[in-house]
Structure 1
Amino acid sequence: MLADYLFLLDSAVIWAILAVAMFCYGLLIELCFINKASSIWYKRTQYWVTCIKTTLASLPLLGLLGTIMGLLATFFRMSQENGFNIQEVISGGIAEAMFTTQLGLIMVIPGLLMLSYLHAKMNRWAALN
């Protein structure tokens, strides 16, 4: 069953989504949970917040890019097959296209939640100091 989906690992867009998400998650985990709130932490967090927002916003767009690439690959394969095994060609391409969209959307949600927590932590620290 899992072997049926290994073809998805050939997609550069999937790897890009995972790399961007891990970069954001690493920063967010460090800023939210590992580092203790201080003036240095606050300045560092202010420095990274805009970058994190922008990078998180790129995740659904990368998913959309993967969708377009998957659909283009499907249409290209359909033109090459000339009607032979057309159902297999379509289902594989559509699966890749939909998976990248789903992955981009799923990966942004935890990041947005941690970013919201980070903003609340920053506001609390700023109010107390």
Structure 2
Amino acid sequence: MNEITLYLNMLNHGVVWALLVIATFCYSKQLQLLFFMNKSEMWFSKSNYWLTALKTLLASLPLLGLLGTISGLLGTFKHMSIHNGLDMQEMVSGGIASAMFTTQLGLVLVVPGLLLQALLDKTLKLWRVEFLCAQ
């Protein structure tokens, strides 16, 4: 039960929610462009428009994870200084585990996005070649 409480506490972190929102937005936009739109000139133009923005948003995920880790570590050290380091081993290990969660989450969330991005990029290139050959 203690582990469940620890993981639920990690969801109180604003960086975790930012990671989840950005990843969800990127995934949904990539899936929409890849599978739910008819391949046309409008699709090609819209996909090219989103390509750079999605790459930038995906690149922000590991950096946001690192930001969460730094803020978590700062919170741990602040707690240690306020409580004069009482029961330091448990406090530090719990604080570091909580802090590292955001980095792990940022890294885990970026991988599917990068795979979808590569698929979108390849689909755009293939469509362009097919479109030019058809003309």
Report TM bin, short chain: over 0.9
Q: Which moved more, 1:101-110 or 1:1-10?
A: 1-10
Larger radius of gyration: 2
Q: Letter of the aligned partner of 1:16 in structure 2?
A: A
Note the C-alpha offset of 1:86.
Answer: 1.9
* C-alpha distance in 2 between matches for 1:64 and 1:122: 32
- What is the alpha-carbon distance in structure 1 between the residues aligned to residue 121 and residue 32 of structure 2? 14
Find the counterpart in structure 2 of residue 101 from structure 1.
103
The CA deviation at 1:58 is 0.2
SS at match of 2:38: coil
Displacement of 1:78: 0.6
Aligned residue number for residue 114 of structure 2: 112
Please give the alpha-carbon distance, in whole angstroms, between the structure 2 residues aligned to 1:87 and 1:7.
19
Which residue identity lines up with residue 84 of structure 1 in the other structure? Answer: L
The equivalent residue for 1:51 is 53
Q: Secondary structure at the match of 2:39?
A: coil
**What is the number of residues matched between the two proteins?**
129
In structure 2, C-alpha distance between the alignment counterparts of 1:4 and 1:50, rounded to whole Å: 37
- Give, in whole Å, the separation in 2 of the partners of 1:3 and 1:78: 21
* Inter-partner Cα distance in structure 2 for 1:100 and 1:81: 25
Return the alpha-carbon distance in structure 2 between the equivalents of residues 33 and 102 of structure 1.
29
Runs (5+) with no aligned partner, structure 1:
none
Which whole-Å CA distance do the structure 2 matches of 1:26 and 1:84 have between them?
A: 46
Provide the TM-score with structure 2 as the length reference: 0.91
Deviation at 1:91, TM superposition (A): 2.0
Q: How large is the Cα RMSD of the aligned pairs? A: 1.0
